[in-house]
Each structure stands twice: as structure tokens, then as C-alpha cells.
Amino acid sequence: MDAVGARAVPAVNVTPGELVRSARKEQRLTLAQLGAVTGYSAAQVSRYERGVSPLTDVVVLRRFADALGIAPQALGLTPQPDVRHGRVIGPTAAYPRLPGPRVADTNREDGEDPVRRRQLLANLAVTAVAAAGAPLTSGGKPPVHEAALGDVLIGRLRDAMLGLHHDIAVPPAAALHTELARALADFHTCRYGSLAVRLPRLICAAHARATDGDGLEHGGLLARSYLLATRMLIKLDEQQLGWMAADRARQTADASGAPLLVAEAARQLAVLARKAGWHGQAMSLALTAADHPGLRSGGPACAAERGLLIQSAAYTAARAGDADGMRELTDEAAAIADELGGTTLLRDHGGGFSPITVQLHLVSAENSAGDPSAALAAAQAVAPRNLPSTERRARYYTDIATAFARWNRRDECIRALLAAEHHAPEETHARPAVKSLVSGLLVSGRTTTELRGLAARVGVLAR
């Protein structure tokens, strides 16, 4: 329905969602009928009307205004822009394309101890070579500074994104895809020493190939590399670089034209928005992407990505203090997982999507909602051995450790952290969330030999 000449709907003390609901009911449309016209599911239209999902996005508001004949001004919109010969006249918000890095040779130490940094990077290089199966020149095993892995990985990703790696050999395109598969395997198995060498080099080499016109942007290699970098930076609580990586992931995903990559980039932007405290924007990013026609009309992988996006929105609801909304959205994600038959899909997106990963996500969400007893109850339905990766198993034990800590069950918290360390020592030692948890245990009560040893290994207590 054309909104031109439409009647104005009173907007005093009425939310946009209430205006939409009023206009829909007046025209005797069901949620499903309005969703079919606007391109959203009935559930999403209901969330917009009830304010569960903030109705703030200009594109979404225009869709409802056009479909229901609501005057744009009633929804806080300006009139449609002037369009001449198929072009919008006036300011636009086109997303900029990403140029290849052009920075030449540098010799900076960035304020770090040069000797210590060179030693760390040498050790990490040996670790990466070993992980790749290449022979080592030395017969001895170098010491692994796992507590410092996070800082080293952040530093190397920073330099790669700034174009400061100048000694990178550029292999053929097929070899780069193999390297990406190895980098993803490093992430899933929590081999961060290897990842700290492999992923930055991959990003630099992929940029060089894309700049040479090899068309890797269309194959999604750069997008997938930046998506992995974003996940790692989020895990390491490096939000500043995380935004930079997520921005590039979005650009390269858009360039690839792959709906799954575009949706995953939106999911990671939503995670960063949530961590910044922008709950309304995070919810809008996730749920709008979940209802994109490109996902709704796709196959099982697209359905799984929708589930991951709805999961992300559930976690945001928990962080915003809306436990009921969190559980409603989690139930919606669980229903999608059940419809997919229980198989884990999209292992490289958010750790995979299946009924058990939805349940694991519920453990984290209940913790965020401030209900450790509900988190532990949810954890009882998760068999760690059935989780799809080492990284997800480490997340499970860290989540239940968090719940035990909030309940002041110190011994059980420490046992859970030791279990996480057993499965994924590099993840446990490098992750800031674990460091914070261990620091809290040190200052909040009695210490044991086990706790002091763990504290030393994660780098919060001098040996």
C-alpha cells in the first residue's frame, strides 16, 4: 500500500510498535499476512509490535509505513527521498570498499620489551610449524608462555590489519584456502599459539591476492578470515580491534555476495554492540538479519544462521535484564534446531548450531540474566563430550565455573576451571574472562595450592 497521502496516526505517547499493531488490526491483517508483505516472520512482527525488538531501523520503519499506509512522519521518518532517473538525490550511506594494505617496511617494537617479544614470537613460530606437521630444526621443546598468548595474538592481528607485515610470502589461492581451514581448526582446538602465527599471515596474504585481482573477495576468503579474527578478538575482550575486524568482515562479506557471510558479519557486529552496552541496536542488528529474505528462502545452513542470530538476540535480552524475552527467543532458536534434525551445522559460525549448542548458549544467557541456579540447571542437560569442539567444551566448563562463583561455591568453581584447563589450556590461560574469575577467587576467600597454581598459569599471580 502506498504511504503517500496516508492518514496520520496519532503518535503522542504511542510507540512505533503500537502504531504498527493498531494499523494492522484496523486493516484486519494477521501477523503472518503483514510479515509476508514486509518480508519478516510473524514472530518478528510480533516482537516489533510488543517492543521486544526495538523498532528503530529506518529501513524497517519504512517497510511498515508503506505496507500499512502510515504517514512516515508518524513513525519519525522524513518523506521519501527524491529519486530521479533511478538515483537517489541527496546524502547516501553506501558502505566503503576496503583497499589493500600499502604500508611498507617498518621496524617498531611498540613500546614492548624487544627481547621478550622476539622470544615469544620465536616460540610461537615453532609451535605453528609443529602444528602444521613440518619438521623442527631444534630437538628441544621451547617453553610456552600461554598466559601471554592473548597479548601476542592481539598484537599480531593489529599489525596485520594495519598492513605492517611486510615479509609475507603470497602462496597460490588454493593454498590460502587450505591455510584458512587450518586456522579454523586451530581456533576450534584452542591452539592459539599456532593461530597467532597463521591467521595474521593469512589476512596479509589474502589481501595481497585480492589486490592482484584473483577474485578471492568473491570466494569469501577475506570475509571468513576477518570473521575468524573478530571472534578471536571478542574472546580476548579486545573491542577496539574487534570493531575494526568486524567492519572489514562486513565489507568483504558484502563484496562476496554470500548471504551466510553477510549474516554472520551482522551477528558479530551485534555481539560487539551488546558488549558496548547498546542493547537496542544489538537486538535490531541480529533480528533484522535473521529475517532477511536471503536467509528465509535458503536451505538448512541458512536456517541454522537464523538460529544463531536469534540466539544472539536472546543473549542480548539477558544482558538487558529481560529474562522472559531471553527464554522466548531461546525457545525460538531451539525450535529451529529441532527442525533441522539435531545435526550440527555451521561449525565455523559461532561454534556451530544444533540443539546442544542452543542449550549451551542458554547456560551463558542464564548467567548473564543473573540466575546462576538456572544456569546450572540448564548445564545439566549438556553432555560436554557431545559438544562439537574443544573450544565449546572449554566454554561449557567456564560457564559453569562462573555460575558456581556467583553462588560462592568456590571449590566447585575451581574444579570447573581446572576441567576447562584440562581440555583447552591455551584458551583457559589466555582468556581475560578466566583471568578475572581467578583474580576474584584469590581476593574473596581462602586460597589453596590448586588455586594458586592455576592463578600462576593464567598469569595473575607471580610464580
Write out pLDDT tens, residues 414-451: 999 999 999 999 999 999 999 999 999 999 888 999 99
What are the phi and psi torsion angles at 83 (to 5°)?
Answer: -120, 125
pLDDT of residue 212: 65
Local confidence band at 122 (pLDDT 50, 70, 90 cut-offs): very low
Local confidence band at 347 (pLDDT 50, 70, 90 cut-offs): very high
Please give the DSSP secondary-structure letter assigned to residue 88.
Answer: E
Q: Which residue has the higher pLDDT, 208 or 305?
A: 305
pLDDT of residue 246: 97
Tell me the CA distances in angstroms from 63 to 5, 58, 459, one per residue in order.
16, 9, 52
Q: Which has the minimum average pLDDT: 9-23, 219-233, 262-276, 301-315? A: 9-23
Residues 276, 281, 287, 291: what is their CA dihedral angle, to the nearest 10 degrees?
-130
Distance CA 21, CA 264 (A): 30
Give per-residue pLDDT as tens, 78-90: 765 544 333 343 3
Residues 107, 110, 112, 116: what is their CA dihedral angle, to the nearest 10 degrees?
-30
Q: Which amino acid is at 356?
A: I
pLDDT of residue 116: 46
Count of Cβ atoms closer than 10 Å to residue 379 Cβ? 22
| Contact partners, residue 403, CB within 8 Å, separation at least 6 | 363, 366, 367, 372, 373, 375, 376, 379
Quote the percentage of the chain above a pLDDT of 90. Answer: 57
| Contact partners, residue 104, CB within 8 Å, separation at least 6 | 166
Helix, strand, coil percentages (3-state) for the chain, rounded to 5, are 65, 0, 35
- Does 23 score more than 50 pLDDT? yes
Question: Under a CB-based contact definition with an 8 Å cutoff, are residues 367 and 389 in contact?
Answer: no
Distance CA 81, CA 182 (A): 48
Task: State the pTM of this model.
Answer: 0.76
For range 1-21, the mean pLDDT = 62
For range 401-426, the mean pLDDT = 96
For range 110-126, the mean pLDDT = 44
Whose cell is 540474566? That residue is: 369
Q: Which amino acid is at 402?
A: T
Distance CA 83, CA 88 (A): 4
What are the phi and psi torsion angles at 70 (to 5°)?
Answer: -85, 135
Q: Which has the minimum average pLDDT: 37-41, 215-219, 305-309? A: 215-219
pLDDT of residue 75: 81
- Does 127 score more than 60 pLDDT? no
pLDDT of residue 166: 63
Local confidence band at 167 (pLDDT 50, 70, 90 cut-offs): low
- Does 32 score more than 50 pLDDT? yes
